[in-house]
Chains A and B, each alone.
Chain A
Amino acid sequence: MARMKFLCDADRCIECNACVTACKNENQVPWGINRRRVVTINDGKPGERSVSMACMHCTDAPCQAVCPTSAIYTTADSVVLHSKDICIGCGYCFYACPFGAPQYPKVSNFGSRGKMDKCTYCAGGPEPDGSMAEYEKYGANRLAEGKLPLCAEMCSTKSLLAGDGEIIAQIYKERVVKRGYGSGAWGWKTAYRETIAS
Chain B
Amino acid sequence: MAMLIGRVRFIVGAMALALMFALAAPASAQVRNPDTSVNPTASSVKEEQLLQEFRRIQGRGTIPDTRSYVIEQPAGRDWRQFHQVTLHWIGAIAILGMLALLVVFYLMRGMIRIAAGRAGRVLVRFSAFERFVHWITAACFIILAISGLNITFGKPLLLPLIGPDAFTTWSQWAKYAHNFLSFPFTLGVVLIFLMWIAWNIPTRVDVEWLKEGGGMVGYKHPPAYRFNAGQKMIYWIVVLGGAAVAVSGYFLMFPFYGTNIADMQVAQVVHGVVAVLFVAVMIAHIYIGTIGMEGAFEGMWDGTVDVNWAKEHHSLWLEKETAEGHVGAPPPKGKMQPAE
Q: Which residues of A pack against B, CB within 8 Å?
A: 10-11, 15, 17, 20, 32, 34, 37-43, 46-51, 53, 62, 65-71, 85-92, 94-100, 107-108, 110-113, 180-184, 186-187, 189-190
Contact A99 B71 (CB under 8 A): yes
Could you tell me the distance between the alpha carbons of A189 and B50 in the complex, rounded to whole angstroms?
A: 13
Query: Which residues 1-48 of B have a CB within 8 angstroms of A?
Result: 33, 35, 37, 39-48
Least Cβ distance of B143 to chain A in Å?
Answer: 15
Contact A34 B68 (CB under 8 A): yes
Given known A-B contacts A37-B63, A49-B45, A11 and B168 have beta carbons under 8 A apart: no
Choose, from B77-85, B90-98, B100-108, B296-304, the stretch at the interface.
Answer: B77-85
What 9 pairs between A and B have smallest CB-CB spacing?
Answer: A41-B59, A181-B41, A47-B44, A47-B43, A111-B179, A53-B71, A96-B76, A39-B59, A43-B60
Could you tell me the distance between the alpha carbons of A11 and B47 in the complex, rounded to whole angstroms?
A: 13
Could you tell me the distance between the alpha carbons of A111 and B176 in the complex, rounded to whole angstroms?
A: 6
Name the contact of A98 in the complex, choosing from B43, B76, B255 (C-beta under 8 A).
Answer: B76
Specify which chain A residues have a CB less than 8 angstroms from the CB of B261 in the assembled complex. 94-95, 100
Contact A100 B73 (CB under 8 A): yes
Specify which chain B residues have a CB less than 8 angstroms from the CB of A91 in the assembled complex. 252, 255, 264
Does residue B308 face the partner (Cβ distance < 8 Å to A)? no
Given known A-B contacts A69-B171, A95-B268, A40 and B72 have beta carbons under 8 A apart: no
Contact B41 A39 (CB under 8 A): no
Specify which chain A residues have a CB less than 8 angstroms from the CB of B46 in the assembled complex. 183-184
Does residue B219 face the partner (Cβ distance < 8 Å to A)? no
Does residue B202 face the partner (Cβ distance < 8 Å to A)? no
Name the contact of A38 in the complex, choosing from B39, B62, B65 (C-beta under 8 A).
Answer: B62
Specify which chain B residues have a CB less than 8 angstroms from the CB of A40 in the assembled complex. 59-61
Specify which chain A residues have a CB less than 8 angstroms from the CB of B73 in the assembled complex. 98-100
Contact A100 B33 (CB under 8 A): no
Contact B164 A70 (CB under 8 A): yes
Specify which chain A residues have a CB less than 8 angstroms from the CB of B68 in the assembled complex. 34, 37, 39, 100
Contact A37 B168 (CB under 8 A): no
How many residue pairs at the A-B interface have CB separations less than 8 Å? Answer: 172
Could you tell me the distance between the alpha carbons of A167 and B168 in the complex, rounded to whole angstroms?
A: 39
Contact B171 A68 (CB under 8 A): yes
Residue of B at shortest CB range from A51? B71
Could you tell me the distance between the alpha carbons of A181 and B37 in the complex, rounded to whole angstroms?
A: 11
Specify which chain A residues have a CB less than 8 angstroms from the CB of B180 in the assembled complex. 111
14 A-B contacts, Cβ less than 8 Å apart?
A10-B44, A15-B62, A39-B71, A48-B44, A68-B152, A69-B168, A70-B155, A88-B168, A92-B83, A110-B253, A111-B180, A180-B33, A180-B39, A190-B77
Name the contact of A49 in the complex, choosing from B44, B74, B171 (C-beta under 8 A).
Answer: B44
Specify which chain A residues have a CB less than 8 angstroms from the CB of B254 in the assembled complex. 108, 110
Given known A-B contacts A38-B61, A70-B159, A107 and B256 have beta carbons under 8 A apart: yes
Least Cβ distance of A4 to chain B in Å?
Answer: 19
Q: Which of B47, B48, B171, B256 has the most CB of A within 10 A?
A: B47
Residue of A at shortest CB range from B250? A110
Contact B47 A184 (CB under 8 A): yes
Q: Interface residues of B toward A: which range?
A: 35 or more
Given contact pairs A39-B58, A92-B268, A183-B44, enumerate 11 new A-B contacts (beta carbons under 8 Å): A49-B45, A66-B83, A67-B155, A68-B150, A86-B165, A90-B151, A91-B255, A94-B261, A98-B75, A183-B41, A183-B46
Contact B72 A43 (CB under 8 A): no
Residue of A at shortest CB range from B76? A96
Does residue B203 face the partner (Cβ distance < 8 Å to A)? no
B248-268: CB near A (< 8 Å → 1, else 0) gives 000011111100010011001
Does residue B236 face the partner (Cβ distance < 8 Å to A)? no
Does residue B331 face the partner (Cβ distance < 8 Å to A)? no
Could you tell me the distance between the alpha carbons of A17 and B46 in the complex, rounded to whole angstroms?
A: 22
Could you tell me the distance between the alpha carbons of A71 and B164 in the complex, rounded to whole angstroms?
A: 9
Q: Which of B57, B254, B257, B261 has the most CB of A within 10 A?
A: B57
Residue of B at shortest CB range from A33? B65
Residue of A at shortest CB range from B37? A180
Does residue B167 face the partner (Cβ distance < 8 Å to A)? yes
Could you tell me the distance between the alpha carbons of A41 and B75 in the complex, rounded to whole angstroms?
A: 19
Least Cβ distance of A193 to chain B in Å?
Answer: 10
Least Cβ distance of B53 to chain A in Å?
Answer: 12
Specify which chain A residues have a CB less than 8 angstroms from the CB of B83 in the assembled complex. 66, 92, 96
Least Cβ distance of A131 to chain B in Å?
Answer: 18
Given known A-B contacts A32-B65, A100-B261, A183-B41, A39 and B77 have beta carbons under 8 A apart: no
Specify which chain B residues have a CB less than 8 angstroms from the CB of A53 in the assembled complex. 71-72
Specify which chain B residues have a CB less than 8 angstroms from the CB of A186 in the assembled complex. 47, 71-72
